[in-house]
A and B are shown apart, each in its own frame.
Chain A
Amino acid sequence: MSDIIKTSDFDMEFRDEVFKEPDADKITLCFNCTGCTSGCPMAEQEPEYNIRKFLRMANLGMKDALLNSPYLWYCTTCYKCQERCPQGVKNVDTLLKIRTIAIQNGIMLDNHRKVSQLVIKLGHAVPINDDAKEKRKDVGLDDTPPTVHKFEDALGEVQKLLKITGFDKLVADEEEKS
């Protein structure tokens, strides 16, 4: 190991924030058995993605290194690590909490921003298009599904909900925020 970890980089308020997620403090029980990472299908493809290292970094309060790591966004949430952990560490749930803190700090991938904005605009992350309308008719369905796509009032409810929670501002483009 050549990376030097400086205690001056530790941010215990960040750790406290992570531990607000129920049972996230179980990270402290990790004894490095590597059961999580050895079964991780993403680590098999991208060794830099190491959920055990990430969670231990969270436990040390290594906020900046963690939030700015591009690998924070590699987890597919397959939950294999969480199932296998002999100590009951909530690997995935804790990683998702770290992502939440990243988003609150304005760190968000463009593609995730776009998907979020689709939900705000249309109520669906994957909305209908003309091709799908044709396909729906071909299998004998109405061309518009009975979701928010069909009911404007319902879409209005969803949009209002997303305003109340502040999600619209959270995922707005940077220039719109300012």
Chain B
Amino acid sequence: MSKLSFFLGCIAPNRYPGIEAATIKTLEKLGIELVDLKGASCCPAPGVFRSFDKITWLALASRNVTLSEEMGLDILTVCNGCFGSLVDANNIMKEDPALKEEVNKILKEIGHEFKGTIEVRHIIEYLSQEVGAEKIKAAVTIPMDLNVALHYGCHLVKPSKERHLGSTENPTFFDELVEATGATSVDYEDKMACCGAGGGARTAVLDTSLQMVVNKLDHMKAAGVDCIIDACPFCHLQFDVGQTEVKKKFNKVYDIPVVHYSQLLGLAMGLPLSELGIDQNLIVNEEFNKKIERIRGGANE
């Protein structure tokens, strides 16, 4: 059994806990044990805190990394933002001796030391590289015959110099994992476009940030999908909460359900709906729920 520490971040545990629960249970079925990363904090968010003060960002992210170093485990994240911060910080600390020394002086005062002994992983690239679509397909008990709009998000694949996951314009590794659950990843216009939430933009300029999600939702709707599949709780929030906001602000109605990949995997592995938290979203689409029920039959409780 593989073992990693589970870095929760902020939005998964504190807004969409279904993502946290689904991740723990589905990975267990794939022979991956997730251990609590006790006392972890905000990653902290890359575009925001890194731009406010780089040393603060680097020190706080490095503290999170040292917690896992102390357990001798690689870190698993389920969020593109956390992945971006922790991977970038981990790389900088490993490659820049001067910054490492400066940050370690700070960490020493709170009883930690960055050593550079572990790696930071994201659930999607981890499953793609270490488990593989074939093994996931074999673990699926109910193929989820859904047409989905897949959203990679930005920081999973970019900057590519730090990620090494191939093309950032036309990647396919996430599509392969989605199709392993029996779903069809439907092509849609500008698929790799940003959801609009990152870099502090959602906090700073909400209306303009929402115009970006409107663009994405328009393209997804035109492709006629059953739901969105994402790999990041912040994109998830932008799509879910964002749909309620664009309804109020711009009178735009979509009602497209938003599902994190871990939750899709949970559906396909026959986990009880009550443990996946998809119904805790703000956007609840009865037609989608009925379709899930039809596909899953008795597994829906």
Binding site for B on A (CB under 8 A): 41-42, 44-46, 73-80, 82-83, 92, 95-97, 99-100, 103, 108-109, 111-112, 115-116, 119, 123-129, 132, 135-136, 138-141, 145-151, 153-155, 157-158, 160-162, 164-167, 170-171
Contact = CB atoms under 8 A, between A and B. Distances in A.
Given A124-B14, A147-B13, A157-B111, A42 B208 contact: yes
Which of B16, B53, B59, B280: most chain A CB closer than 10 A? B53
A125 B48 contact: yes
B201 A146 contact: no
Interface in B189-240: 193-194, 196-201, 203-205, 208-209, 211-212, 215
B194 to A, nearest CB: 4
Contacts of B45: 125
B205 A73 contact: yes
B238 to A, nearest CB: 10
Interface string B138-161: 000000000000000011001110
B60 interface: yes
Contact of A99 (B15, B41, B52, B169): B52
Given A123-B42, A126-B11, A74 B201 contact: yes
B275 A83 contact: no
B51 interface: yes
A74 to B, nearest CB: 6
Interface stretch (B32-40, B116-124, B127-135, B174-182): B32-40
30 contacts: A41-B212, A42-B196, A45-B212, A46-B205, A46-B208, A74-B208, A75-B199, A75-B201, A76-B201, A77-B199, A78-B193, A79-B155, A80-B194, A82-B158, A103-B51, A108-B52, A125-B42, A125-B44, A126-B11, A132-B14, A135-B17, A139-B280, A145-B20, A147-B13, A147-B40, A154-B40, A160-B109, A161-B106, A165-B53, A166-B53
B48 A100 contact: no
Contact of B10 (A125, A150, A151, A153): A125
B55 interface: yes
Contacts of A44: 212, 215
Could you say which of B13, B54, B110, B194 has the most chain A C-beta atoms within 10 Å of its C-beta? B13
B52 A79 contact: no
A76 B212 contact: yes
Closest 6 CB pairs of A and B: A154-B39, A77-B199, A77-B47, A145-B13, A78-B194, A79-B158
Contacts of B209: 76
Contacts of B208: 42, 45-46, 74
A147 B110 contact: no
Contacts of B201: 42, 73-76
